[in-house]
C-alpha cells in the first residue's frame, strides 16, 4: 500500500522495524522502494523500534512480538470460523475480492489463500500463471500490471520470481499487497505459519529448543524461522546439516547479537532427544547443478525415521514445510508427533487471519 | 474417504460390491489400497453383495440398482434446482468448498463439476493443470498432496493420468473423493450420466435395446455402460465396430454371466432400425500409432447420418460422450432424436446429485 | 444468441445495423453465420437502420447512439454499485453463472470480466487457456464446445484467435455471447470503454478533438474508436503515426462518408496543443517481422512525455489501451491528465453494465 488515504482506512496492527541488518534472502536483490516504505530492506542500517500499521505483508522481519501475538490470536479464532462453515458460514469478507497474481505456479500456496478468502465469505480472481500474461510477455512492467489489477480487486496476493517484487508492488498499490513468495527473497506467510505451529503444538514459544535439519544454506524457510524465533526468550537452536549446505554466518551473527544460543551438530539422534521441535527440510536438488554425487550424499544424511521417533520426547513435534521427498519416511506419518500436515493446515488459519486483519481489522 | 469418523457423518446410500471380477479398465493397473477400502479393485475375487454407504465415487461397479435409482431421483430434482437459479438460487451447499484437482486438463468435465457446485450454492478451488504443480514436479506423492488439499476443502474431485489414482486418493483422504477420470481406468460420473440419459430419454432401463457403435475396444465409456446396463432386466446389446476395435471378451463373458443377450453386427442400419438407443463413439486416433491407414479405414466405417435417422424408430435416441469429430454428421444435430447435447447437460444434474448426496445427503 | 425463444426473455436495447461496409478488422476473415444473424459482417452491403434487441455483444458497429447512451448510463451507475461492495454488495446477478472461454490468454480482459460479474453478485466458470482443451485438441468444433458450455452457464465471454469466432459462437448459443476479442477481428468492449472514458473525462462526445497516435494501421483499438466516435457531431480527428503504420484508407473513406473532419500530422506537439484527447498506442513489434530497424525507428518517433504535457490543454487527457512500453514515459503517470489507468478501470464498469443489461436488463 502506498497511499496514505488508503492506509488510513486500514486496521491498526503493531509492526516493528527490525533492529538488525541481517538479510533473510539467500541472494538478496532489493528492489526499488518508496521513501515512505514501512519495512526495512535487507541492506537497511539498524533502526529504533517503531510502531505503525499493518498495510502490507512483505517480509518476516516486519512483525514484532505484539504483531505476531495479534495475528496468532486471530488465527486461533479462525479455527472456529472454519468449523462453522457448513452451518453458519462467515460473511466477514463478503463483497471483498482478492486477486491472486501468481507469476510462477505454487498451487499449495494459492489454494490455501483462496480457501482462506472463501472461508471468510470473500471472492477470488485467479491467475495460475501470470508470467504468460500477454501484457507481461509484451513487456509491461509489474507496476503497470499492479495499477490495473488494483482497479479490479480489494487485495492482491503476489507470487513472483524476482526478489523485491512484492515490495515494488506494495509501493505502487493503493490496496494491500501480500507477498506469497518472491523468488529467493521472502515468503513471510510461511514463516508466520511455522511459528504459529510451534506455539499451537508446544503451547509456548519462549524457552523452546529447536532443531533445524537439512538444507540450511538455501532454504528461505529455516532462515526466516531462525529470525522470527529469535524474538522470543531463552531459545536454543541446533543446526544439523550436511557440510555443503550449512547455515550461513549472517544468521549465526544475528542470533549472537540477539543472545540466542545455538550450536552445530552432526548427531541427529542426540539433537532429537533434546528438542521440542525438529524442523526438517528438503535438500534442493536444483542447487547442486551437475554435482549429483554431492546431492545424493547430502540428501541421505539426515533422515527422520522411526529411530528418531524412538528418542524424540513425547511432547515434541516434527515439522516440515512440504513438499517432502524421503527426508521423512512415511512410517513416521501416523505418529501423533508428526505435525507437518497440521502445519500445512495452519497455513489456512494464518492466511485467514491476515486477510481479515488487512481488510476489516480485528 | 478413509476415516470411519468422517464416514459416519455422511449420508447413507446403498452401494454394492460387484459380484464379478470383470475389469472396466482398458489396461487395469490397480493402485495400492487400504484394508478398509469399500469398492473392489479390478483384480478382486467374486464377493457377496453388501450394502454400505456412499463415501466416495471411484468406480462404476460400486453402484447397485438401489443406489442408481437414488442418484437418478436426486438428479431429476436438480433440474428444478437449476431452473430456479435466477429467482431463488439454491443454498444447499452454502459454505462448502470443492477442490478440483486436475492432473490433466479436461475442461468439459471440470466446468460441469464447478457449475454443479455453484448451482447448489457451493464454492470452488480450481487447478487446471495440477501436474505442473511445483510440489508434484518436485516429487511429492499424490498422497501427500491429498493430505494437504483436504485441509483446505470439503470434497476433492480428482482427474489423474494413472489408473488407480482415485482409489489411492480416497484411501488417504478424510473427506469424500470423486473420480473424474483416472487414465485408462474409470470415469464413473460419465457412466452414471449415460445410464441416466437413457432413463430420462426412453423412460425405462429394463427391456431396452442398445447399439454400441465405434471403438468398443479402447473406450472406457462403452465398457462402463455395458457393465452398468447389465444390472437391468431384459437388455439386448448390439456391438457394431470395425474389426480392429471390437468389444473385448471380458465384457462379453460378463454379459453372459449376467444373462444379458448380445450380438455383434456389421450392419449399422439394421441395428439402428431395432434399437432404442444408438451409442456412437469416436475412433481414437492415438490408439493406432503409425498405422494411420487402419485408423482411416476404421473411422469412416460406421457413421451416423441421415440414412441412419431414416430407419431409427421415432422414440429412439442417438447418444455420444463427446467430443465428436465426423462420426455423427452435423445435419443429424437438429433431429429431436439427437440426444448428445442433452446428455452432456445431464452431466450437470448427475454431478449436482452426487455433490449433494456426498456432502449433505438426500 | 440464436434462438428466438431465448432472445424474447432478454432486455431490450436499441442496436443499429451499420450503414456502411467499412471493416474494423485489420484482416477481415468473416466466419460462417446464420441467416437470422443480427449484426452485419465486414462484407455486408449498406443497409437501412433497424432497431432490435441486444442479445450478444459481437462488434463495435452494432451499437447506435441510443444504445451507447444506455450502456454508458448503466456503467455510471456501476461506480456506485462497486463503491457499495463492502457494506452492501450487489445481488443483481445472484444465481447467474458466466463462463469465460479464453482460447488465448488475456489476463487483463479476463480479470475485468470476472471482477465485473462478482461485483454484481454473480459467479464465474473460468478457463485460462481453452485452446489446450482436450476436446479442442481432439478436433471438436467451436460450435460443439459452445453447445456443451451453454448447458453449464448463463452467459459466455469468448476470447478466440480467429476472426469471426464470436459471431459463430453467438449463432450457435441459446444464451448471450460477449466477444472479448477474436483475433485480428473485433474487441468491442474495449471500444466501448474507450468512448465511455472520453465521455467520463471530458464530459461530452460531440465536438471533441481527438489525436490518434502510434500504430494506426494494425491496432484494432484505434480503428474501432474512429468508427464509434464518428457517430457523434463535430468531431475532429488527427492521425499522428510513423509512415509505415499510417491509418488505412477504409477508415478515412468512412470518416469522409460521415462528414467527420480529419487530418494527418507529423507534429505531435502541435496536435497535442489543440486536442481534448490524445490516444497513444503501442507500436507492435510482432508486425515488423525481421525489420527490427523499421520497428526501432517507428517506436521512438512519437513519445508522450513532459514536453507533450507542457502544451496539452489543462482539460485534456491522455489515453492508452495498455499495456504500454515506453511510448508514454513514466513521469507522465502522476499528471492528473494521465487517464490510462482510469480508462482500464472503466473497463470494469462497462463490463458490469453489459452483463447487467444482457442478463437482467436495465
C94 in contact with B at a CB cutoff of 8 Å?
Answer: yes
Catalytic residues of A: 108-109, 138, 159, 187
Task: Round to whole Å and give the CA distance between B233 and B38.
Answer: 26
Q: Are strands A261-264 and B277-280 parallel, antiparallel or unpaired?
A: unpaired
A33-67: per-residue pLDDT in tens?
A: 333 333 333 344 434 333 335 689 999 989 999 99
Assigned domain for C122 exists? yes
State how far the Cα of B186 lies from the Cα of B59, in Å rounded to an integer: 6
A329 and A215 belong to one structural domain:
yes
Among B85, B111, B323, beta carbon nearest to C149: B111
**Closest residue by Cα to residue B142 from B171, B107, B115:** B171
Domain residue limits at A292: 189-344
Q: Which of B323, B330, B341 to mutate to test the interface with C (most CBs of C within 10 A)?
A: B323
Instruction: Looking at the complex, report in whole angstroms how far the Cα of residue A120 sits from the nearest Cα belonging to chain C.
Output: 13
Provide the pLDDT for residue B324.
Answer: 93
**Is B155 in the same domain as B197?**
no
Contact B234, B240 (CB under 8 A): no
The count of other CB atoms within 10 Å of the CB of residue B292 is 10
Neighbours of chain B (3+ CB pairs under 8 A): A, C
Q: Say how many CB pairs under 8 Å bridge A and B.
A: 71
Look at C285 and C82; give whichever has higher pLDDT.
C82
Residue B179 in domain: yes
Nearest-angstrom CA–CA distance, C223 and B93: 47
CA–CA dist B184, C322 (Å, integer) = 45
User: Do A166 and A238 belong to one domain?
Assistant: no
CA distance A194 to A284: 19
Q: Please check whether residue A72 lies inside any domain of the structure.
A: no
Q: What is the pLDDT of residue A132?
A: 67
Which ipTM score applies to this complex? 0.86
| Closest chain B residue to C103, measured at CA | B107
pTM: 0.88
Looking at the predicted structure, is the pLDDT value of residue B188 above 80? yes
Task: Write down which residue in C186, C203, C227 finishes a domain.
Answer: C186
Q: Let me know if residue C159 belongs to a domain.
A: yes
If asked whether residues A274 and A224 sit together in one domain, one would say yes
d(CA C135, CA B105): 10
Average pLDDT over residues B118-147: 86
A148 closest CB neighbour out of C85, C105, C341: C341
- Quick check: C327 contacting A, CB < 8 Å? no
User: Of residues C16, C100, C109, C189, which has the active-site annotation?
Assistant: C109
Confidence tier at A287 by pLDDT (50, 70, 90) = confident
Residue C308 to chain A, least CA–CA distance (Å): 21
B177 and B223 housed in the same domain: no
Report chain C's mean pLDDT, rounded to a whole number. 86
Instruction: Tell me whether residue C236 is one of the annotated catalytic residues.
Output: no
Sign of the C-alpha dihedral computed for residues C44, C46, C47 and C49 taken in this order: positive
Distance CA C225, CA C219 (A): 10
Position C276 scores a pLDDT of: 98
**Looking at the 3D structure of chain C, how many domains does it have?**
2
Q: Do B152 and A348 touch (CB under 8 A)?
A: yes
Q: Does A341 touch chain B (CB under 8 A)?
A: yes
Q: Report yes or no: C282 at the A interface, CB cutoff 8 Å.
A: yes
- In sequence order, the 6+-apart residues with CB closer than 8 A to the CB of A279 are A194, A210, A211, A212, A213, A222, A225, A319, A320
| 119-148 of C, contacting A, C-beta below 8 A | 119, 126, 128
Task: Please tell me whether residues B227 and B331 are part of one structural domain.
Answer: yes
pLDDT at C46 over 90: no
- Pairing outcome for strands A261-264 and A123-127: unpaired
Q: Three cell numbers at C229?
A: 466516435
Q: Does B160 touch chain C (CB under 8 A)?
A: no
Nearest 5°: the CA angle B45, B61, B23 is 55
| DSSP bridge pairs for C127 | C101
Looking at the complex, report in whole angstroms how far the Cα of residue A51 sits from the nearest Cα belonging to chain B. 34
Whole-angstrom distance, CA of residue B14 vs CA of residue B10? 12
Better-scored residue on pLDDT, B6 or A61: A61
Looking at residue C129, its pLDDT comes to: 74
Any idea what the CATH number is for the domain that residue C284 is in? 3.40.50.1370
Residue C267 lies inside a defined structural domain of this protein: yes
**Shared-domain flag, residues C235 and C118:** no
Query: Between vectors from CA B166 to CA A123 and to CA B123, what angle results, nearest 5°?
Result: 15
Least confident of A156-160, A299-303, B127-131: B127-131
Q: Is C351 part of any domain?
A: no
Q: Do B323 and C154 touch (CB under 8 A)?
A: no
Nearest to A111 among B125, B128, B129 (CB): B125
Determine the distance in angstroms separating the CA of B52 from the nearest CA of chain A, rounded to an integer.
25
pLDDT band at B8 (very low <50, low <70, confident <90, very high): very low
Residue A44 lies in a domain: no
Picking from A54, A32, A347, A61, the residue whose alpha carbon sits closest to that of residue A186 is A61
Helices A107-119 and A65-83, interaxial angle, to 10°? Answer: 70
| Together in a domain, A199 and A160 | no
Using a CB–CB cutoff of 8 Å, tell me whether A244 touches chain B: no
Nearby residues of A146 by Cβ (< 8 Å), 6 or more positions away: A101, A156, A169, A172, A173, A177
Task: Judge if B172 and B201 occupy the same domain.
Answer: no
Same domain, A165 and A309: no
Domain final residue, candidates B157, B186, B215 = B186
Confidence band, pLDDT 50/70/90 cuts, at residue C132: low
Give me the pLDDT at residue C133, please. 58
More confident residue, C118 or A134: C118
B195 and B340 within one domain: yes
Domain boundary among C168, C186, C204: C186
Condensed to tens digits (0 to 9), the pLDDT of residues A76-102 reads 999 999 999 999 999 999 999 999 999
**What confidence tier does B54 reach under pLDDT thresholds 50, 70, 90?**
low
CB contact under 8 A, C147 and B107: no
How does the average pLDDT of chain A come out, rounded?
86
Nearest CB partner across the interface for B105, out of C133, C139, C149 = C133
Which residue does chain A place closest to B91, by CA atoms? Answer: A86
| pLDDT at residue C18 in the model | 39
Distance from CA of B199 to the nearest CA of C (A): 19
Mean pLDDT of B151-159: 97
Q: Is residue C307 part of a domain?
A: yes
Query: Are A106 and B132 inside 8 Å of each other by CB?
Result: no
Residue of C95, C134, C151 lying closest to B89 (CB–CB) = C95
pLDDT of C47 above 60: no
Using alpha carbons, list the distances in angstroms from residue A342 to A20, A154, A224, A333, A336.
32, 29, 20, 11, 10
Q: Which helix (H) or strand (E) holds B181?
A: strand B177-182
* pLDDT for res C7: 40
Question: What per-residue confidence (pLDDT) applies to C215?
Answer: 93
Same domain assignment for residues B258 and B161: no
Which of A129, A132, A148 is closest, CB to CB, to C344?
A: A148
Lateral strand order in the sheet of A155-160: A123-127, A97-102, A155-160, A177-182
Distance of CA A294 to the CA centre of its chain: 28
Task: Decide if A79 touches B, using CB distance below 8 A.
Answer: no
Amino acid at each position: 500500500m502506498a497511499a496514505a488515504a488508503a492506509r488510513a482506512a486500514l486496521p491498526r496492527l503493531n509492526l516493528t522495524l527490525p533492529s538488525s541488518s541481517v538479510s533473510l534472502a539467500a541472494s538478496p536483490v532489493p528492489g526499488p522502494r518508496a521513501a515512505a516504505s514501512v519495512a526495512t530492506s535487507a541492506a537497511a542500517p539498524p533502526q529504533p523500534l517503531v510502531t505503525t500499521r499493518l498495510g502490507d505483508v512483505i517480509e518476516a522481519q516486519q512483525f514484532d512480538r505484539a504483531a505476531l501475538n495479534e495475528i496468532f490470536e486471530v488465527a486461533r479464532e479462525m479455527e472456529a470460523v472454519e468449523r462453522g462453515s457448513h452451518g453458519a458460514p462467515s460473511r466477514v469478507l463478503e463483497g471483498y475480492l482478492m486477486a491472486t497474481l501468481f507469476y510462477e505456479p505454487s498451487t499449495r500456496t494459492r489454494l490455501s489463500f483462496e480457501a482462506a478468502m472463501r472461508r471468510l465469505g470473500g471472492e477470488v480472481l485467479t491467475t495460475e500463471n501470470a508470467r504468460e500474461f500477454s501484457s507481461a510477455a509484451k513487456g509491461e512492467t509489474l507496476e503497470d500490471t499492479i495499477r490495473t489489477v488494483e482497479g479490479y480487486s480489494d487485495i492482491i496476493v503476489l507470487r513472483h520470481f524476482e526478489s523485491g517484487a512484492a515490495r515494488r508492488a506494495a509501493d505502487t498499490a493503493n490496496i494491500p499487497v501480500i507477498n506469497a513468495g518472491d523468488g529467493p527473497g521472502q515468503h513471510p506467510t510461511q514463516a508466520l505459519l511455522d511459528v504459529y505451529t510451534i506455539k499451537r503444538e508446544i503451547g509456548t514459544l519462549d524457552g523452546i529448543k529447536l532443531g533445524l535439519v537439512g538444507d540450511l544454506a538455501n532454504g528461505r524457510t529455516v532462515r526466516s524461522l531462525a529470525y522470527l524465533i529469535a524474538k522470543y526468550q531463552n531459545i536454543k537452536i541446533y543446526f544439523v546439516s550436511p557440510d555443503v549446505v550449512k547455515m550461513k554466518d549472517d544468521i549465526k551473527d544475528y542470533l549472537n547479537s540477539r543472545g540466542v544460543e545455538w550450536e552445530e551438530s552432526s548427531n541427529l539422534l542426540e539433537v532429537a532427544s533434546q528438542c521440542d521441535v525438529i524442523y526438517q527440510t528438503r535438500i534442493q536438488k536444483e542447487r547442486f547443478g551437475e554435482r549429483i554425487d554431492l546431492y545424493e550424499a547430502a540428501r541421505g544424511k539426515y533422515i527422520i525415521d522411526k529411530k528418531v521417533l524412538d528418542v524424540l520426547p513425547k511432547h515434541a513435534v516434527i515439522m516440515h514445510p512440504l513438499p517432502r521427498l524421503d527426508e521423512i519416511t512415511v512410517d513416521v506419518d501416523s505418529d501423533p508427533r508428526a505435525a507437518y500436515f497440521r502445519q500445512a493446515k495452519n497455513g489456512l488459519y494464518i492466511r485467514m487471519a491476515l486477510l481479515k486483519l488487512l481488510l476489516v481489522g480485528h
